Structure 1
Amino acid sequence: MPSSSSSPTSSTSPSLSSSSPTRKNPYQVIRELGSGLQGRVVLAFDEHERRYVAIKLPSVFETAASNGHNAVDLRLLDYQVQSIVQERRALRFVGSHPNVLQYVRMVPGSKMNQSYVALVTEYASNGDLFDLIADTGAFDEDLAKFYFAQLLSDQFTMKLCDFGLATVVAPSRGEHVDQIVLRDVSGTGLYMAPEISRTTPYRATPTDLWSAGVVLFIMLTGFPPFQEAARDDHWYECVVQGEMDKLWEAQCDVAEMLSADARDMIAGLLCSNADKRLTIADCFAHPWMQDVDMVDRKWVVEEMTARRLVALNASATI
C-alpha cells in the first residue's frame, strides 16, 4: 500500500485549474483510474493532507482535445457536471458509512473557457472488484459472502462508489423505505432490474436487490449472468422467465462448484417479480448467509493480498 507520508512522483494536472499545488488546489494528479460517460477518475496526491485521493471530473475536455477540437460538447459537459453534483449529494446523504467511499470536498475548475466542478473522495487503493475477478478468477463462497455488495479499500473492506446515477430517497413521516416508488429509467444496463425498463412506477429497494444478485453471480462465477438486461438477450430472458436451471445447465462446470444454497440465493435475488424477490432481511436469514460471521478476516486479507499480487504481476507482464 502506498505510504501517505511521502509525496509521489507526479505529473501536472491535466484538467484541474492549477498545475501546481496551491491552497485552493493542493492536488497533484498522478494517473487516470478510469473513464466513462459520466466523466473520468484520476488518482491524485493531496500535498496539504499528505494522502492519496480520487478525483472525478468531466472527461469532455480530453475528448475534445483528442479529436483536435478547441471547444467542448456543452450538453455532455452539463450532463457530467450534474452527475458529479448528484454523486456529491448522494455521498453526503449516506455520510460516514464504512462501505461507501468517503466524500472529501468539491473543487471548482476551468478549462477551454468553461467552468466545471470536480469531486474529491477517499482513494480505495486496491482497485476495482471486477477487475480483480477478471485477473484472478471467481471467489469461493466464503470470500463472496464476506464481500457481498461492497468495493475494495486498503484493508480489503468493500467500498461502494460511482453514485452519479443514484436516486436519493428519503421516506416521509411514517413511510418505510421499501414503500418508496420511483419512475425514472436510469442505471447501468447490466444491473438494471426488469421493472425499471417498464413504463409503470416501481419500488426502489427491490431494484437494488436485483443488482446485488448480478454482483453476487459475478463474484461466484467470474462472469455476468447475461450480456445485457434486454429481452433480446437469451440468458436475460431465461432469468426473467424464472428459468435459472437453463442457465446453470449451460454452465454446468460452474454450477457443480456452487452449493445449492448459493444457487438458491442468486435465484431469489434475480427474481423478475419484485414482490417475490428476496429482501435484505431475507438475505441475512438465508441459509447461505448463516455462517458469514465465521469467515476469518485474517484469511480474507491473506487471500486478497495474494490475488492482488497475481493481478499486479499479470499487468506488469503485458
Structure 2
Amino acid sequence: MSATKVKRVVGKYELGRTIGEGTFAKVKFARNSQTGDPVAIKILDKEKVLRHKMAEQIRREVATMKRIKHPNVIRLFEVMGSKTKIYIVLEYVTGGELFDKIVHHGRMMEDEARKYFQQLINAVDYCHSRGVYHRDLKPENLLLDASGNLKVSDFGLSAISQQIEDDGLLHTTCGTPNYVAPEVLNDRGYDGATADLWSCGVILFVLLAGYLPFDDSNLMNLYKKISVAEFTCPPWMSFSAKKFITRILDPNPMTRLTIPEILEDEWFKVDYKPSVFDDKDDTSLDDVDAVFQDSEEHHVTERREQPTAMNAFDLIAMSKGLNLGNLFDTEQGQAYVANAQTFHVYHLKSGSNLNHPSFKVEY
C-alpha cells in the first residue's frame, strides 16, 4: 500500500472527519470503539479557552447539558481532558439544522410547523423544570435527527437557577437580537422562562411565515419593533395560529402565555404527543469537575495509531473466497501479482468480498 491513514484515538473514541468548526472549538465525527456507536466530539484548545477567559462559560455549558436527558435535547455523554485539550462527547444527529430546512424549502404547512413547535415546547418545559434557561433559542440551534425529530442544542448562553439574583430575575443581556424578548433588552432584569417562550414564539412565526416577525437593518429600529411587538402575520396563516402567536409574542412578560397555557391552546393541542422518557436523575458531574480542575490523574490518553500495511498476499490469506487465479503465472512454477497496489485500491472501492472478521484497511 502506497499510503496509510493515521488513526487518532482519544480514550475509547476513534476520531474521524471534521463536521464543524468555530472560533473556540472544532467538532469531529467519532466512533466509540467499544460499542461502535457514532458520536460528535467538540474539541477545545485549553490555552485558547483560558486566554479568552471562557473556562467558566464552557464549564457551565457542560454541567448544564449533563443534567438534561430529554429526547428533544442533544445529549452530552461525557467530558474528557488532556494536557492541552477538552473533549466534549455529544449525541451525533444527521438531519442538519431546522434553519437549513426553512432556507431550502421555505415556510412550512401548519401541521409540520406544529409538530416541531410541540417538540420544542416539550424540551423547553423540561429544561425549565430543571432550572435551566436556554436564552438563545433560534432555528440555528435546533437540530434534526435521522427520523426528523427536533433536538435543542447549544447551551453556551444558558443560565441556571443559581444565577438568579435577589430580585428573582436574570440580568445578563444575551441572545440573538431578532429572537430576544423585549424585557431582556430593557436591562431591568427578566424571567428566564418567559424570555425563552418569547423566542419560541418567534421561531413558530418563522416556521409558518418563512421570514422573521421583527427585522430591521438598524439595530435601534429593530429594538423598537420588538419592544412593542410590532409585527404582521401573513394572510396564509390560519386565524387560530395568528391568535396563538400573538398571545406568545406579548411584550408584557406578565401577561405572555405560560407553558401550561400553551399546552391548553386549541391550535397547539392538535395531534399533540407528550414526550415519553426515563426521567431518572442520576447524573454525575465528576468528569466535569476533573476536567475543569485540570486533574492530571484523570487526563485521557491521546494516541495515533498507524494501521498495519498489507500487501496482496496478506489479502489473499485473509479472504479464502477471493479467486485470484487469473493474476498468477503458474507456467514457470512462480507466483506473482501484477500491479498489487492498483489491485488493492480497486477492490476496496468496488466493494469486493473482503469481509473477513479481522479485515480492516484504510487508504
| TM norm structure 1 | 0.67
Q: Distance in 2 between matches of 1:73 and 1:85?
A: 11
Q: Check if 1:181 corresponds to 2:169.
A: yes
CA distance in 1, matches of 2:144, 2:5: 26
Task: Choose the corresponding residue for 2:230, options 243, 246, 253.
Answer: 243
Using the TM superposition, give the Cα deviation of residue 280 of structure 1 relative to its aligned residue in structure 2, in angstroms.
0.7
Tell me what 1:219 maps to. Answer: 207
What residue is the counterpart of 1:297 in the other structure? none
My pick for the range that moved more, 222-231 or 83-92, is 222-231
CA distance in 1, matches of 2:194, 2:85: 35
Aligned pair partner of 1:137 in 106, 128, 139: 106
Indicate how the Cα distance of structure 1 residues 151 and 265 shifts in structure 2: closer, same or farther if over 3 A, else same: farther
> Where in structure 1 do 4 or more consecutive aligned residues deviate above 6 Å?
none
CA deviations 1:219-241 (Å, max 9, x no partner) are 1122222347985234x533432
Partner of 1:108: 81
Does the 8 Å CA contact 2:248/2:256 hold for their aligned counterparts?
Answer: yes
> Taking structure 1 as reference, are residues 42 and 229 closer, same or farther at Cα in structure 2, changes over 3 Å only?
farther
Which one of the candidate residues 88, 101, 104 is aligned to 2:62?
Answer: 88
Query: The residue matched to 2:64 in structure 1 has which SS?
Result: helix
Residue type matched to 1:279 in 2? T
For 1:260, the equivalent position in structure 2 comes to: 239
Cα 1:171/1:82, change in 2 over 3 Å: closer
Q: Is the 8 A contact 1:28 1:44 kept in 2?
A: yes
- 8 Å contact 2:66–2:77 — kept in the other structure? no
Change (3 A) 1:211 1:89: same
2:214 and 2:230 in contact (8 A); partners too: no
Take 1:229 and 1:48, find their aligned partners in 2: how far apart are those partners? 51
Q: Following the alignment from structure 2 to structure 1, what is the Cα–Cα distance between the partners of residues 263 and 24?
A: 33
Per-residue CA distance 1:179-205 (angstroms, 9 max, x = gap): 952122222333221211223221121
Q: Structure 1 residues 264 and 11 mapped into 2: Cα distance closer, same or farther (>3 Å)?
A: farther
Root mean square deviation of aligned Cα: 3.1
Q: Per the alignment, do residues 48 and 206 of structure 1 end up closer, same or farther by CA in structure 2, a change over 3 Å counting?
A: same
Q: Distance in 1 between matches of 2:217 and 2:143?
A: 22
Instruction: Indicate conservation of the 8 Å contact 1:30/1:45, yes or no.
Output: no
Q: 1:135 & 1:36 partners in 2: Cα distance?
A: 23
Aligned residue in 2 for 1:160: 152
Greater length-normalized contact order (CA 8 Å, ≥ 6 residues apart): 2
Q: CA 1:266/1:224 → structure 2, altered by over 3 Å: closer, same or farther? A: same
Tell me the distance in 2 between the aligned counterparts of 1:143 and 1:98: 18
Identical residues among aligned pairs (%): 28
Distance 2:42 2:56 in 1: 12
The Cα of 1:134 is off from its aligned counterpart by 0.9
Contact kept? 2:18, 2:26, Cα under 8 Å: no
Deviations 1:16-70 (A, max 9, x none): xxx5225x2523131223x445534332233333122112233x79xxxxxxxxx
Aligned-pair distance for 1:106? 0.6
Q: TM-score, normalized by length of structure 2?
A: 0.60
> How far apart in 2 are the matches of 1:30 and 1:201?
43
Matched, 1:207 2:195: yes
Deviates more, 1:186-195 or 1:266-275: 186-195
Query: 2:18 maps to what in 1?
Result: 31
Match of 1:124 among 65, 79, 93: 93
> Could you tell me which amino acid in structure 1 is paired with residue 225 of structure 2?
C
1: distance between equivalents of 2:81 and 2:93?
23
From 2, 12, 29, give the equivalent of 1:43.
Answer: 29
CA contact (8 A) 1:57 1:84 kept: no
Q: Residue 161 of structure 2 aligns to a residue in which SS? A: coil
Paired amino acid for 1:116 = K
Judging by fraction of residues, say which structure has more helix.
1
How far apart are the structure 2 equivalents of 1:187 and 1:270? Answer: 16
List runs of 5+ in structure 1 lacking aligned partners.
1-9, 13-18, 62-70, 173-178, 249-254, 295-318
Give, as a single letter, the amino acid of the residue that structure 2 aligns with 1:54: A
Cα shift at 1:74 = 4.8
Letter of the 1:146 counterpart? K
1:84–1:118 CA contact under 8 A, matched in 2: no
Question: Is the CA contact 1:56–1:120 (under 8 Å) kept in the aligned structure 2?
Answer: yes
Structure 2 vs 1, CA of residues 263 and 185 (structure 1 numbering), >3 Å: closer, same or farther?
Answer: same
Letter in 2 for 1:266: I
Which residue among 74, 97, 101 is the counterpart of 2:70? 97
**Deviations 1:127-179 (CA, angstroms, capped at 9, x unpaired):** 1111121112221111111111264122222111101111122699xxxxxx9
**Number of aligned residue pairs:** 245
| Equivalent AA in structure 2 for residue 56 of structure 1 | K
Tell me the CA shift for residue 73 of structure 1.
7.9
Q: Aligned partner of 1:46: which letter?
A: N
Match of 1:280 in 2: 259
Larger radius of gyration: 2
